Amino acid sequence: MGKFKVELKKVVDDSYDILIGHNLKRTLVEDISNGLLGKIKKFAIITDTNVLDIYAQPIYDLLVEKNYKADIFIVQAGEKSKTRETKSKIEDAMLEKGYRRDCAVIAIGGGVVSDLAGFLAGTYGRGVPFITYATTLLAAADASIGGKTAVDTPLATNLIGLFNQPKKVYIDLEAWKTLPDRQMYSGMAETIKHACMASKELFDFLQKNMEKIYSNDITACEYIANYNCEIKYKVVMKDERESGLREVLNLGHTFGRAIETVSDYRLLHGEAVAIGLVAQAYLAKEKGYMTESDVKKVIALLKKANLPTEIPEYIDREKLIEKLYTDKKVRDGKLRFVLEKGIGDVVCFGENLYATPISEEEIRNIINNYFE
Amino acid sequence: MGKFKVELKKVVDDSYDILIGHNLKRTLVEDISNGLLGKIKKFAIITDTNVLDIYAQPIYDLLVEKNYKADIFIVQAGEKSKTRETKSKIEDAMLEKGYRRDCAVIAIGGGVVSDLAGFLAGTYGRGVPFITYATTLLAAADASIGGKTAVDTPLATNLIGLFNQPKKVYIDLEAWKTLPDRQMYSGMAETIKHACMASKELFDFLQKNMEKIYSNDITACEYIANYNCEIKYKVVMKDERESGLREVLNLGHTFGRAIETVSDYRLLHGEAVAIGLVAQAYLAKEKGYMTESDVKKVIALLKKANLPTEIPEYIDREKLIEKLYTDKKVRDGKLRFVLEKGIGDVVCFGENLYATPISEEEIRNIINNYFE
């Protein structure tokens, strides 16, 4: 019997910059010319039908102008595109167009595009670099820090994927102006989540400045884009592999993801998270972690952001309960929720222990007696 | 405009052990009991129809005996199972059976199983640990060092995948006895490749001891299992991301992979590589890197190993040339081959420059005038 030791210890540097500003299309292409991605000359632009004309096409034109090879791969806008099948189709189209390992991926769009494109880049030729050009508030809040990329499957959301860091993220605040209202509201849910879990200050700012943000006030938008990065960064930095602390980012998401799936994506992600934030607040109140008044404040802020706070009538509540059990935090068949503590903090049981076990009776009580 | 720096520098330790021995089923389960994978209690065994009864089932039984949760996920033996579709099917089956992020994958089989299962483990729940139990000579030579995992697509082999290191590799020499002859011969091709590219000593050993190995002489088998690990380790250690040196492992593979695909997998991987080794030797002779006598020695060794050295009649030679252009080493539309220099060395043009540009005329000349 022989033994062979494979030594693979090394320093990995996945650091990158996030640029927050107005209209960063030229900046992106200039960064590439200036060597952001080394000698790479071929760019697979992955985008969706929403931003094809206003962002992907102009960036494509700028790249071609500089003599780079580029192609645009378009997915239908919406969560339903985040599948293994879409990933395979783009891979095949890229192969067909001759893309090999000497290319990079540019994801232009919201969270769906960056999740899908980041995952695809991570497995294409066993990994090619990618850049994210975030055109939605949701992507700015959610997808630009953390390196979480994934697709959905019929049985679970976000369970097949990778931790894969982009080489740079561009948050284009101008793009927020072009968002349909409902998309903008939906994106706000993750910002409110960040406020609920980590910052009373941000919560108060949102209460006072929601109208300003929704009318694209530059200073207010920059403020929240920055604040989102800071909060997420603090959490993610300490826990890159989601072993514990990062679970707090799941605030509102256990319930949110379940209701999003049961709605068959009639609810946008942020809308589902908004309802999830209400559900966890009710649970937190039941458990004594939040006062009635705190819960009301959370609901009021969500309403101010034009987000739903009730379970839509078309939702099958039994299916919803069943779906909760597919959550990643489920251990040994038991539901676990991250819960808010007051406003701007979460319940913690000890180092890296943030998920409260919740019985089926408890959640059933919330669903049947707290919601309308 | 604001800038946000995400600092993600860290030390990663992917070191692992390779155990070479006879019948390691109990050892594997004991290692797990002793904490090889921490507290993980759920094991998805991925295997193929060839070794299900003799290896996967006994290991499953031993795990269940120790009160672990385990399930066996079976793929049809053969390269055709290495697809995105098979990966999706196993993922869905695992989700159905309640596997979440708190599980590990055990790959039991040859290179196809470890490539597929290693890739699957790398994206399941954004990465769960995996162990490889290699039951073929090919897996021992090829799949146990390097962390290369992948699936094939209609347009390219091994292009969608990951670098993903196992937590431990078990090379069970006893399993070689159960291999069909053709599989054993096929596995020998990678060992001969290692000898051609890096060790005259191993080449000579194989010339002298082929019969011993094929009759499962313990000492001879351990010798080559170890030698394979050493050669591959030296190459891989210096170049984990395949930026240059690792290209030498592609000796015989540019041609080999192309002919494997064009044969629609009638040729086993090693058989295709054997023909590829002959093709690169002819090219090396044309370019003045090998003597006529060296080329004859390589062909003689392949024949001794019962491997093919001619292009089968059913191969469409024009399709074969076309297919060569899908190789990962193609840059700017130009073919590049790793070439042998004498026996036990490869052609090198400078630091990490191992791939020789070959014109279509040159390879066409080899295919039409050197092969029968």
Q: Which of residues 26-45 of B touch A (CB under 8 A)?
A: none
CA distance A13 to chain B (A): 4
ipTM field: 0.87
Whether the CB of B67 is below 8 Å from some CB of chain A: the reply is: no
Contacts A–B by Cβ distance under 8 A: 182
CA distance A126 to B243: 12
State phi, psi for A67 to the nearest 5 degrees.
Answer: 70, 25
Which residue in the set A18, A96, A126 is minimally distant from B162, CB to CB? A126
Residue A240 has pLDDT above 60, yes or no: no
Range B243-257 average pLDDT: 87
CA distance A256 to A14: 30
Residue at B348: amino acid letter: C
% of chain B beyond a pLDDT of 90 = 80
CB contact under 8 A, B154 and A92: yes
- Selected for mutation to probe chain B from A4, A94, A167, A235 (highest B CB count within 10 Å) is A4
Q: Which residue has the higher pLDDT, B16 or B331?
A: B16
- Selected for mutation to probe chain A from B3, B5, B7, B8 (highest A CB count within 10 Å) is B8
What residue of B is the nearest CA neighbor of A98? B326
B17-177: what fold?
A: Rossmann fold (3.40.50)
Q: Which of residues 132-191 of A touch B (CB under 8 A)?
A: 145, 147-148, 150, 153-156, 159-163, 165
Residue A310 has pLDDT above 80, yes or no: yes
Q: What is the pLDDT of residues B140-190, one digit of tens each?
A: 877 788 899 999 999 888 899 999 999 999 999 999 998 889 989 999 999
* Cβ contacts of B224-227, under 8 Å, gap ≥ 24: B224/B191, B225/A2, B225/B20, B225/B140, B225/B171, B225/B173, B226/A2, B226/A4, B226/B20, B227/B191, B227/B194, B227/B199, B227/B202
Whether the CB of B322 is below 8 Å from some CB of chain A: the reply is: no
Q: Where are the domains of chain A?
A: 17-177, 184-370
Which residue in the set B17, B20, B96 is minimally distant from A155, CB to CB? B96
Which residue in the set B3, B7, B101 is minimally distant from A19, CB to CB? B3
Q: Which residues of A touch B88 (CB under 8 A)?
A: 84, 153
Whether the CB of A322 is below 8 Å from some CB of chain B: the reply is: no
Range A197-205 average pLDDT: 96
| Weakest mean pLDDT among A63-77, A135-149, A166-180, B62-76 | A135-149
In our burial notation (b when 16+ CB lie closer than 10 A, e otherwise), range B12-27 reads eebebebbbbeebbee
Domain A184-370, CATH among 3.40.710.10, 3.30.450.20, 1.20.1090.10, 1.10.10.10? 1.20.1090.10
Q: Which of residues 251-270 of A touch B (CB under 8 A)?
A: none
What residue of A is the nearest CA neighbor of B69? A332
Q: What is the pLDDT of residues A56-97, one digit of tens each?
A: 999 999 999 999 999 999 999 988 999 999 999 999 999 999
- Selected for mutation to probe chain A from B123, B149, B165, B242 (highest A CB count within 10 Å) is B123
Whether the CB of A23 is below 8 Å from some CB of chain B: the reply is: no
CB contact under 8 A, A91 and B153: yes
**According to the model, what pLDDT value does residue B241 have?**
59
Q: Is B22 annotated as a binding residue?
A: no
In which band, very low, low, confident or very high, does the pLDDT at B240 lie, cut at 50, 70 and 90? low
**According to the model, what pLDDT value does residue A368 have?**
94
What residue of A is the nearest CA neighbor of B95? A155
CB contact under 8 A, A240 and B8: yes
CB contact under 8 A, B161 and A123: yes
**CATH assignment, B195-370:** 1.20.1090.10
- Please, which residues have CB within 8 angstroms of residue A350's CB and are 6 or more apart in sequence? none
Total H helices, total E strands in chain B: 14, 12
Whether the CB of A328 is below 8 Å from some CB of chain B: the reply is: yes
- Selected for mutation to probe chain B from A126, A164, A168, A234 (highest B CB count within 10 Å) is A126
Q: Which residues of B touch A237 (CB under 8 A)?
A: 7-8
Which residue in the set B1, B10, B331 is minimally distant from A12, CB to CB? B10
Residue B192 has pLDDT above 70, yes or no: yes
Are A129 and A102 in contact by the 8 Å Cβ rule? The answer is: no
Beta-bridged to residue B281, according to DSSP, are none
- The string of DSSP letters for A111-160 reads HHHHHHHHHHHHHBTT---EEEEE-SHHIIIIISSS-EEEEEETTEEEEE
Q: What is each CA distance from B132 to A14, A114, B16, B114, B128, in whole angstroms?
A: 28, 32, 11, 6, 13
Which residue in the set A3, A119, A156 is minimally distant from B17, CB to CB? A3
Classified as helix, coil or strand, B150 is: strand
CB contact under 8 A, B159 and A125: yes
CA distance B132 to B147: 11
CA distance B37 to chain A (A): 15
Whether the CB of B303 is below 8 Å from some CB of chain A: the reply is: no
Q: Is B253 annotated as a binding residue?
A: yes
Q: What is each CA distance from B190 to B63, B165, B226, B257, B304, in whole angstroms?
A: 33, 20, 13, 13, 14
CB contact under 8 A, A15 and B6: yes
- Please, which residues have CB within 8 angstroms of residue A53's CB and are 6 or more apart in sequence? none
In which band, very low, low, confident or very high, does the pLDDT at A241 lie, cut at 50, 70 and 90? low
CA distance B297 to chain A (A): 31
Q: What is the pLDDT of residues B298-322, one digit of tens each?
A: 999 999 999 999 999 999 999 999 9
- Selected for mutation to probe chain A from B16, B126, B158, B233 (highest A CB count within 10 Å) is B126
**According to the model, what pLDDT value does residue A243 have?**
62
Q: Which residues of A touch B125 (CB under 8 A)?
A: 159, 328
**According to the model, what pLDDT value does residue B320 have?**
96
Q: What is the pLDDT of residues A320-362, one digit of tens each?
A: 999 999 877 777 788 999 999 999 999 988 777 888 999 999 9
- Among residues A249, A236, A242, A177, the alpha carbon closest in space to that of A14 is found at A236
